[in-house]
Amino acid sequence: MKSSISGRAPRQKRRTEQGYVRAALVALRRLGIPCAWEAALLGRSVDLALLQTNTVWTVEFKKRDWRRALEQARDHLLGADYAYVCLAECQPSPAFLDAARGAGIGVLRLHNREGWPFEVVAKARRSRETLAFARDRVINQLRTA
């Protein structure tokens, strides 16, 4: 008969990007913040969109590939007031932080505390490229999600 007690520590299951998005979504909904997973934006989908104090934020989650995340977040600036990248499993490198600041993209870290699920590592600049009709569509999605 096998014992259920083992000398080895249980293996922790690694989260997927979707798992991180879901954790943030649940935390935001608990706070009553309108948010949507895979929100539609000009034929693309945004990992997470939220309405915070009458401004639209988008968040692109990546475990590693920050260059791809910045490309995607730049596209979000057409329908959001602020675009962020959340690197879920790694510290942002100086190169990434410089590139994000240059593009006007903010950087977030996800944390496991109660309340607001993010730590703002670098603030995003307000987009000057936002198209009113695209922003309005995102807001409608957030209010009906």
In order, the DSSP letters of 54-80 are: TEEEEEEEESS-HHHHHHHHHHHTTT-
Q: How many CB atoms lie within 10 A of CB 32?
A: 7
Quick one: pLDDT band at residue 140, thresholds 50, 70, 90? very high
From the centroid of its chain, how far is CA 13?
21
- Please tell me the pTM assigned to this model: 0.87
* Between residues 17 and 45, the one the model is more confident about: 45
More confident residue, 98 or 17: 98
Nearest to 51 by CA among 111, 140, 139, 145: 139
Average pLDDT (114-142) is 94
Q: Could you tell me the domains of the chain?
A: 17-144 (3.40.1350.10)
Average pLDDT, the chain: 88
Question: Any residues with CB less than 8 A from the CB of 81 and at least 6 apart, and which?
Answer: 55, 56, 57, 126, 127, 130, 135
